[in-house]
């Protein structure tokens, strides 16, 4: 059997651990040939691939990013994109694909399955916003990075008695903001699921200043002020129709400074959250996902995604996995509000 593997969408820590698991089990347990397609869905569209042997994955467990590269290519937005993928798979003798990615990559995987291509999905996103799995790999690492940044920023904030706004990733779901904010003892946490009142934020900030401490505000990039619109860095959209976000942290820091008369600074963590060595948790979860994806392909169970439910790895339909995003529920946010101000 000859199986292809690709990584699509934004990179994140743990991708290489999945690739390693697929290659090792595919070759050693099943006798497969494994082919890696470069640059996400662009690889099978253009035929850009490389063989993956045991030596190729020997030292990649601890590496961030992906040895196959990634992109936000959408074959359904490219003229003849799907036909090109089918032609590549036929030409290279590929019997099945393992696609590692988030909602967009797996959305393509679902459509390709409907169009007759054998695909198994592996969930990847630092945003942890895929509803069919309890956790995605990459999330734990991103939260650790953001929490460490908050810890470091707190010391300089207290030294200068200034407010610091920390902008983290999270377009539609505020899981990184919520978890890193709670772990870092933030005084305000703002998520996309709940529009925020600038007046209320200022009240919490002033309460912190009155106690002679410097406030830390954690805000997800997709968070919105009440009655406001997304803060955009540009109007540019990617192949899946997403506008690049960013800037709410700087905007909010300026508002806090104007309304309180106190010095305020913004720090945008950006792609730092996606880089570097994955945590032990993410390495283990990614490895388990890869092993179970191999089993699904071996069973001929296509059109599914491997998912974490409790402590077990299960299979769910790609249609279920991509039907909706997993957002922060109201009760989880209300728990955190106890610590605001």
Q: Is 10 flagged in the annotation as binding?
A: yes
Q: Is 15 exposed, middle or buried (0-12, 13-18, 19+ CB in 10 A)?
A: buried
Q: Is 169 flagged in the annotation as binding?
A: yes
Structure tokens, 157: 């904030």
Q: Is 126 flagged in the annotation as binding?
A: yes
SS3 69: coil
Decide if 127 is catalytic.
Answer: yes
Q: Is 274 flagged in the annotation as binding?
A: yes
Q: Is 271 flagged in the annotation as binding?
A: yes
Cα(204)–Cα(173) distance, rounded to whole angstroms? 23
Cα(129)–Cα(9) distance, rounded to whole angstroms? 14
Other beta carbons less than 10 A from residue 335's beta carbon:
12
Phi, psi of 44 (to 5 degrees): -70, -20
Catalytic residue, chosen from 55, 95, 115, 127, is 127
Q: Is 171 flagged in the annotation as binding?
A: yes
Q: Is 19 exposed, middle or buried (0-12, 13-18, 19+ CB in 10 A)?
A: buried
Q: Is 265 flagged in the annotation as binding?
A: yes
Write down the residue that tokens 């190729």 correspond to.
56
Are the beta carbons of 22 and 288 closer than 8 angstroms? Answer: no
Are the beta carbons of 27 and 291 closer than 8 angstroms? Answer: no
Q: Is 221 flagged in the annotation as binding?
A: yes
Q: Is 103 flagged in the annotation as binding?
A: yes
**Residue from 192, 133, 143, 207 nearest 12 by CA:** 143
Phi, psi of 147 (to 5 degrees): -65, -45
**DSSP per-residue codes, 81-124:** HHHHHHHHHHHTT--EEEEEESHHHHHHHHHHHHTT--EEEEEB
7 pairs with which residues across the strands? 100
Cα(43)–Cα(49) distance, rounded to whole angstroms? 6
Binding residues for diphosphate: 10
Binding residues: 10, 103, 125-127, 162, 169-171, 221, 265, 271-274
Active-site positions?
127
Binding residues for Mg(2+): 103
């Amino acid at each position: 059997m000859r199986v292809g593997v690709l990584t699509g969408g934004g990179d994140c820590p743990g991708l290489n651990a999945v690739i390693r698991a697929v290659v090792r089990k595919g070759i050693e347990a099943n006798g497969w040939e494994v082919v890696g397609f470069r640059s996400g869905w662009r690889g099978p569209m253009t035929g850009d691939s490389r063989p993956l042997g045991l030596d190729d994955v020997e030292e990649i467990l601890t590496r961030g990013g992906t040895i196959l590269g990634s992109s936000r290519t959408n074959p359904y937005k490219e003229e003849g994109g799907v036909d090109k993928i089918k032609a590549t798979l036929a030409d290279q003798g590929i019997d099945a694909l393992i696609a590692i990615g988030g909602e967009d990559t797996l959305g393509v995987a679902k459509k390709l399955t409907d169009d007759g291509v054998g695909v198994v999905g592996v969930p990847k996103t630092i945003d942890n916003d895929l509803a069919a799995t309890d956790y995605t790999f990459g999330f734990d690492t991103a939260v650790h990075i953001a929490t460490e940044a908050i810890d470091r920023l707190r010391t300089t904030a207290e030294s200068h008695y200034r407010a610091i706004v920390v902008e983290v990733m999270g377009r539609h779901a505020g899981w990184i903001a919520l978890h890193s904010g709670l772990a870092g003892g933030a005084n305000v946490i703002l998520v996309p699921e709940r529009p925020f009142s600038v007046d209320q934020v200022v009240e919490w900030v002033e309460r912190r200043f009155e106690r002679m401490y410097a406030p830390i505000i954690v805000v997800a990039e997709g968070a919105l002020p009440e009655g406001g619109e997304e803060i955009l860095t540009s109007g540019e959209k990617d192949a899946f129709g997403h506008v690049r976000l960013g800037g709410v942290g700087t905007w909010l820091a300026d508002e806090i400074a104007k309304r309180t008369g106190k010095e305020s600074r913004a720090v945008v963590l950006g792609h730092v959250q996606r880089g570097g060595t994955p945590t032990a948790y993410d390495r283990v979860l990614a490895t388990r996902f890869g092993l179970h994806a191999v089993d699904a392909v071996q069973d001929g169970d296509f059109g599914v995604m491997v998912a974490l439910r409790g402590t077990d790895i299960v299979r769910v339909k790609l249609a279920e996995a991509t039907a909706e995003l997993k957002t922060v529920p109201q009760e989880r946010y209300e728990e955190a509000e106890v610590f605001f101000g």
